[in-house]
Chains A and B, each alone.
Chain A
Amino acid sequence: NAGVTQTPKFRVLKTGQSMTLLCAQDMNHEYMYWYRQDPGMGLRLIHYSVGEGTTAKGEVPDGYNVSRLKKQNFLLGLESAAPSQTSVYFCASSYNQGFSTEAFFGQGTRLTVV
């Protein structure tokens, strides 16, 4: 049972390049989330999904897009990377709305934009 798997684990991008981060969960969870973690700021929610085919904005959605075409996958896209998007990105999933069950986190993706 792999839980929540994020790929890639590390990436360096040049300003203006695009990329997609993949999150996959094998727990049949309905809810999935993308967070970014920056020093001294904790984790901030970028986008989330309450089920296949649905997405919603979180606290810091600008510059990111997401898609949830399959229940088990949640993709985070950067269309034109900026240095301000240098961060560690975490995906999480939960069975329902998160407040009544545990949210499981991936190992993170460390992204550097130069």
Chain B
Amino acid sequence: AQSVTQPDIHITVSEGASLELRCNYSYGATPYLFWYVQSPGQGLQLLLKYFSGDTLVQGIKGFEAEFKRSQSSFNLRKPSVHWSDAAEYFCAVAFYNQGGKLIFGQGTELSVKP
């Protein structure tokens, strides 16, 4: 069965430091890939998405993600983290032959130290 794995449940980084959140998926074909962010008590907001083309995609709030087919990964990065980035981050995939339903990873909670 298709699955999405976010290996890190909780990450703490210092403000101004770089960030990388990992995401791996298991499926034979290339899925459509997304990163969402959820602030406490809020719904989910789309950060970025990958459908095809350039494997490095830019999103909102200074985030970017790189699709690596050989590693089945879609890691999220930010060069310099701000305190307001503290939130939970979800990787999600949608498969063309699955009606486009989003399958989510378990989430990574990001804490930012001052």
- Residues on A lying within 8 angstroms of B by beta carbon are 4, 31, 33, 35, 40-45, 48, 50, 56, 58, 90, 92, 94, 96-100, 102-103, 105-108
Contact of A105 with B102 in the complex, beta carbons under 8 Å: no
Q: Which residues of B contact A102 (CB under 8 A)?
A: 46, 49
| Number of B residues, CB within 8 Å of A | 28
Beyond A99-B31, A99-B96, 17 additional contacts (C-beta under 8 Å) are: A40-B9, A40-B107, A41-B106, A42-B4, A43-B90, A45-B101, A56-B99, A90-B43, A96-B100, A97-B94, A97-B99, A98-B94, A98-B101, A99-B95, A102-B49, A103-B102, A106-B43
In-complex Cβ contact of A100 among B42, B51, B105 (8 A): B51
- Report B30-64 residues with CB < 8 Å from chain A CB: 31-32, 36, 41-46, 49, 51
Q: How many A-B residue pairs have CB under 8 A?
A: 67
In-complex Cβ contact of B32 among A43, A100, A106 (8 A): A100
- Residues on B lying within 8 angstroms of A by beta carbon are 4, 6, 9, 31-32, 36, 41-46, 49, 51, 90, 92, 94-96, 99-107
Q: Considering only CB atoms, which chain B residue lies closest to A45 in the complex?
A: B101
Contact of A105 with B51 in the complex, beta carbons under 8 Å: no
In-complex Cβ contact of A99 among B90, B94, B106 (8 A): B94
How far does the alpha carbon of A35 sit from the alpha carbon of B101 in the complex, in Å? 11
Q: Which residues of A contact B94 (CB under 8 A)?
A: 97-99
